[in-house]
Amino acid sequence: NLIVSEALGRVAPSPTIAVSQKARDLKAKGCDVIALAAGEPDFPTPEHIAEAGIKAIRDGHTGYTAVDGIPELKDAVAAKFARDNNLTYDAGTEIAVTSGGKFAIYAAMMATLNPGDEVIVPAPYWVSYPDIVKLCGAKPVIVEMKPEDGFRLDPQALEAAITPKTRWLILNSPGNPTGSVMEEPHLRAIADVLLKHPKVWVLTDDIYEHVIYDATFATIAQVERKLKERTLTMNGASKAYSMTGWRIGYVGGPSSLIAAMRKLASQTTTNPCSISQWAAVAALNGDHGFLAERNKAFRARRDHLLDVLGKAPGLSVNKPEGAFYLFFSCEGLLGGKVGERILETDLEVAEALLEEELVALVSGTAFGKAPFLRLSYAASMEELEEAGKRITRFCERVE
Ligand code: PLP
């Protein structure tokens, strides 16, 4: 007889968990499952970064730190924003380090939202945005991004969604799950809408900044300086440096918001892991040469899958410019049959694919867009080649 809070009651259990759990169960039974459902790079944390973490332990950096991060790391973050994004933030008052990027988003929302407030979330979205907003008692307002627009936010659709209750717009480029990139001209058009609505703030989730192939990264505060005073530029170590388990996110933004987030962290997470912070200093200040090599591997994997899945009956695949996901329509499979099973939804396609061919993908429904599937190609080329064969065979079996 656990009494669940109203806040938690507003949050739906993650629809991705069913597939992931099923994949784990099948693996435990000895089945040869290819799991392409997770959102983490398959590369290890680079050696020099891992060594900096080990050194931090040896040097005794194992106690509490400042809530918003050690000065060395805040300086490194400020230098990164200046170097990569041409953005100037004061390391003392306009930068915060958080326990993962996800907590930065939660802290920003929790620190600013009241019941009745609205947050514009373009769909397909990363699964956590709407639920974080709901957890905070506010309302996610979903704006559809269309495949024919390359899954980019249409400025007119944004304008139509803004109401007097809109507090935030969340942007994510390169995007999860679509891999779409909003380049400078796209962001310029979004900025022009926002300039007309001075009460709307922007949270830009730039966590896939360095996982990009055919496009040039830009972030909105860089494109329109006037928005900087109401933009939270969020980023982190997870995807760029293969540091998902280290839990380091960081933000640059107006000092008032940074102070509010610091207050929230002081009563919840305290500081981000001290050891991880020293590793992140090495990551941000160190050599970034490995990124080009990794992106080359990601691109080759993407191109292989685009080629294979592009020929699979029933699928319609868009070419992503970044992140490590393929997000494709499976509409052509709906209404078909595999064995005794009728495929009515993308959830059923994902389930059948897992049971019949032992490939774990996530349904588009989880990201607010049906009937689609998301495939993470953060896996070895051998696994992806085998997955491509299995998915094709599955599609061919649907009658
Ligand atoms: N934002 C997006 C779009 C993501 O895909 C993820 C992780 O999957 C995160 C944020 C969270 O990253 P972190 O590990 O820093 O919490």
Task: For ligand 1, pick from 128, 173, 204, 246 the residue to mutate: most ligand atoms within 8 Å of CB.
Answer: 128
Q: What per-residue confidence (pLDDT) applies to 201?
A: 98
How does residue 357 score in pLDDT terms, banded at 50, 70 and 90?
very high
Answer yes or no: is the C-beta of 178 below 6 A from any ligand 1 atom.
no
Q: What per-residue confidence (pLDDT) applies to 347?
A: 92
CA of 240 to the centre of ligand 1 (A): 11
- Summarised one tens digit per residue, pLDDT across range 151-168 is 999 999 999 999 999 999
Please say whether the beta carbons of 46 and 241 come within 8 A.
Answer: yes
Answer yes or no: is the C-beta of 172 below 6 A from any ligand 1 atom.
yes
Per-residue pLDDT averaged across 372-392, rounded? 97
DSSP 270: -
Strand partners, 34: 359
Q: What per-residue confidence (pLDDT) applies to 360?
A: 95
Answer yes or no: is the C-beta of 336 below 6 A from any ligand 1 atom.
no
CA 358 to chain centre: 25
Task: For ligand 1, pick from 238, 242, 250 the residue to mutate: most ligand atoms within 8 Å of CB.
Answer: 238
CA of 6 to the centre of ligand 1 (A): 25
350: part of which helix (H) or strand (E)? helix 346-357
Answer yes or no: is the C-beta of 80 below 6 A from any ligand 1 atom.
no
Alpha-carbon gap, residue 20 to 130, rounded angstroms: 20
Q: Considering only CA atoms, which of 115, 143, 133 is closest in space to residue 203?
A: 133
Buried/exposed 122-146: b ≥16 CB within 10 Å, e otherwise: bbbbbbbbbbbbbbbbbbbbbbebe
Ligand 1 atom, smallest distance to 248 CA: 15
Alpha-carbon gap, residue 331 to 334, rounded angstroms: 5
Residue 15 has pLDDT above 80, yes or no: no
CA of 339 to the centre of ligand 1 (A): 37
Question: E strands of 215-365, at which residues?
Answer: 231-236, 249-252, 316-317, 325-329, 337-338, 341-342, 359-360, 362-363
- Architecture in CATH for domain 6-31+290-397: Alpha-Beta Complex (3.90)
Q: Considering only CA atoms, which of 305, 336, 337, 339 is closest in space to residue 319?
A: 305
Class of domain 65-285: alpha beta
Q: What per-residue confidence (pLDDT) applies to 1?
A: 80
Task: For ligand 1, pick from 40, 102, 125, 273 the residue to mutate: most ligand atoms within 8 Å of CB.
Answer: 102
Domain residue spans of the chain: 6-31+290-397, 65-285
CA of 101 to the centre of ligand 1 (A): 6
Per-residue pLDDT averaged across 272-292, rounded? 97
Answer yes or no: is the C-beta of 244 below 6 A from any ligand 1 atom.
yes
Residue 18 has pLDDT above 90, yes or no: no
CA of 14 to the centre of ligand 1 (A): 15
Measured CA distances, 341 to 336, 355, 395, 399 (Å): 8, 11, 13, 11
Alpha-carbon gap, residue 213 to 219, rounded angstroms: 16
The vertex-239 CA angle with 184 and 177, nearest 5°, equals: 65
Ligand 1 atom, smallest distance to 237 CA: 15
Per-residue pLDDT averaged across 101-115, rounded? 97
Question: E strands of the chain, at which residues?
Answer: 34-35, 95-98, 118-123, 139-144, 166-172, 201-205, 231-236, 249-252, 316-317, 325-329, 337-338, 341-342, 359-360, 362-363, 372-376
Residue 19 has pLDDT above 80, yes or no: no
Residue nearest to atom 15 of ligand 1 (CA): 101
Per-residue pLDDT averaged across 338-345, rounded? 92
Please say whether the beta carbons of 387 and 373 come within 8 A.
Answer: no
What value of ipTM does the predicted structure carry? 0.99
Per-residue pLDDT averaged across 176-194, rounded? 98
Token digits of residue 321: 């410019």
Q: What per-residue confidence (pLDDT) applies to 115?
A: 95
Please report, as a single letter, which amino acid is at residue 54. Answer: I
Answer yes or no: is the C-beta of 239 below 6 A from any ligand 1 atom.
no
User: Average pLDDT over the chain, rounded to whole?
Assistant: 96
Ligand 1 atom, smallest distance to 205 CA: 1
Answer yes or no: is the C-beta of 126 below 6 A from any ligand 1 atom.
yes
